[in-house]
Structure 1
């Protein structure tokens, strides 16, 4: 009977640990919409077994999100108990109520100083109105007018001078000078993102942003900055920031129209004047990528003027001594700020409106016919045409179904005929880094759209016909009355 029983076999793992580690790595997604879910899953992975714990823990602490002072204190205590975890942190996100007495955006420098040796990215993200409504402050607590800076705050920034990326969302500084001095303390920045950034006092131009005549790049303001994003930021502060930057900047992301936060900006000792809506990009000769988000134009004439006055200096900057970009290197990008604000035809109508402004800025003016005849003896028929485009245009983030791709290409090409003719126009109709929201008429097909458009044309034709008939009847009635 004993011989019939199976002999005990030592249990072995079904999968090599290397395969399990690959699966654990695939769990993490750094997209802010999925970070919370990813971190929760990684926490469970770290509790499965000892073999899974090292890799799950290393990935789990790559991105740390702190929402208030209590979570900040708990995380600091954890690092005191296990200092090696601090070396895993690559990204630190401070998201929540920032303008409060115990703001995590100010306290983290004291609590975590020297503990995050490999920190590369810092996100300081304030709640928007919807998040504040969903998670109100405890009764009796109120927000402050701005970040509660203390006298030693800027000196503590020396502990994070090595970071490469910095994000500000919904942050209000005591003054523009405080904002500039914050940036000046992190000179190794390569990427800076500013969304809805403001200040209680604009004040005078800070000394740290003054242009340096020295050839030493380390004495410049943000000498390594390559990418800058400014969405819905105060106009004067945005222009000051751009004017202080140098040839390191290669990519700029802006929005038309720009809608600064609805807060009052005080200007002591500074003359009250209307801020310029256009950005002067002439001081950025190496700027090869200009990315523009487009929202509905509340004031079309003013926004078109701002767009034109921004693009013309950008094109002129390539003619400066410091600029050496060829037309094949320089690109302008258009993307909808929020697709849910548009129907497809509405967005095409917007592109049709800005088309002449864009082509006038991006394409060289044609040589006068008389001048050309003088140079060639009057015979111009056999001369090859030269490409007038000084930059390429990319219309992207349309994020539509495949069946709409041809429609988008045809519609956008009509908005930019010169760029399309010289193959300097690209339309990315179905791809996007950020799928986001859908068009208002997302469920329609091209056939539905064509049918509705035909019906609209027919209704317009009928309206015009009735108007013409009515006008003729009215004229005949007047003529009859005159004869009598």
Structure 2
């Protein structure tokens, strides 16, 4: 923009006062970009009240121009807590196609932080947003209860359209069966990194283990801590079958370390 925009203040009687100078949009954009450098998306969690994030959120409320200037930073990581969030995101990306390049991470979660709730919108997200977030590289599932039949397996298959996804993060999740996790991994051909923290599983029996993901040989980093026996068994079998270069398994003190594979680092 080559000129300085101005806004006009109006009195309660409708009489316009003198123009109030306003910073050029380019300067505002530079300021917002500078604030955003303090938000590190490498971390799995961004604490509520983090000052840089709070400042960006305040900037987004100033006006419509500032909203879209901050959108690039605030929507690099998107939290989807229900189907309405998915529909809203889909509508926004349809109205502003250039914003599709912004999204790098998506977190599918239950409605309440810390409380595991059904995530039926995982399937909605996979089906509706397939091909609409070309830069998406990481997906997270947290505070979730993945119940049987709540997410169609064919919808999970749509995740393969997100061709850049190389990292998956599961935290505070209850699975109905370990086969759901195996299917999720199989749907992501470029998956390299997988974190599982506090993942329970209603399937208690491990005598009939789920088949290994087809792409498990591509995995490079597995970090497994405080998970159900069936989940741990899946990862141990993956590590033995594919020789994952970096495997970290958190175990209880009473567990015999000799039962873990030699290439694992016990935490």
Find the aligned partners of 1:243 and 1:333 in 2 and give their Cα distance: 16
Query: Structure 2 length normalisation: TM-score?
Result: 0.71
What is the CA distance between 1:80 and its match in structure 2? 1.8
Structure-2 residue corresponding to 1:62: 76
Once the two structures are superposed, residues 240-284 of structure 1 have per-residue CA deviations (whole angstroms, 9 ceiling, x without a partner) of 323224556232222230xxxxxxxxxxxxxxxxxxxxxxxxxxx
What is the CA distance between 1:92 and its match in structure 2? 0.6
Structure-2 residue corresponding to 1:237: 231
Query: Structure 1 length normalisation: TM-score?
Result: 0.42
SS in 2 for 1:188: coil
Find the aligned partners of 2:71 and 2:107 in 1 and give their Cα distance: 18
Q: Which has the higher helix share?
A: 1
Which structure has the greater CA radius of gyration? Answer: 1
Contact preservation (8 Å) 1:27, 1:41: no
Structure-2 residue corresponding to 1:104: 121
Give matches, 1:169-208, under 5 Å. 169-201=171-203, 204-208=208-212
Find the aligned partners of 2:146 and 2:64 in 1 and give their Cα distance: 46
SS in 2 for 1:123: strand
Change beyond 3 A, Cα 1:234–1:23: same
Structure-2 residue corresponding to 1:446: none
Could you say what the CA RMSD is over the residues aligned between the two structures, in angstroms? 3.5
254, 257, 260: which one aligns with 1:307: 257
Contact preservation (8 Å) 2:210, 2:234: no
Q: Which runs of 5+ in 2 are unaligned?
A: 1-19
Structure-2 residue corresponding to 1:225: 219
Once the two structures are superposed, residues 423-454 of structure 1 have per-residue CA deviations (whole angstroms, 9 ceiling, x without a partner) of xxxxxxxxxxxxxxxxxxxxxxxxxxxxxxxx
Change beyond 3 A, Cα 1:208–1:28: same
SS in 1 for 2:59: helix
Change beyond 3 A, Cα 1:86–1:22: closer
Change beyond 3 A, Cα 1:161–1:47: same
247, 256, 259: which one aligns with 1:252: 247
Find the aligned partners of 1:73 and 1:36 in 2 and give their Cα distance: 27
Does structure 1 residue 78 correspond to structure 2 residue 104?
Answer: no
Once the two structures are superposed, residues 68-117 of structure 1 have per-residue CA deviations (whole angstroms, 9 ceiling, x without a partner) of 222222222212211221210001111224643x6222321123222111
Does structure 1 residue 44 correspond to structure 2 residue 55?
Answer: no
Find the aligned partners of 2:163 and 2:216 in 1 and give their Cα distance: 11
SS in 2 for 1:116: coil
What is the CA distance between 1:39 and its match in structure 2? 4.4
Change beyond 3 A, Cα 1:29–1:104: same
| Structure with higher RCO (Cα < 8 A, 6+ apart) | 2
Structure-2 residue corresponding to 1:474: none
Q: Which runs of 5+ in 1 are unaligned?
A: 1-9, 128-142, 210-219, 258-296, 318-330, 335-484
Change beyond 3 A, Cα 1:233–1:48: same
Structure-1 residue corresponding to 2:9: none
Contact preservation (8 Å) 2:141, 2:169: yes
Change beyond 3 A, Cα 1:70–1:36: farther
47, 52, 56: which one aligns with 1:34: 47
Does structure 1 residue 89 correspond to structure 2 residue 100?
Answer: no
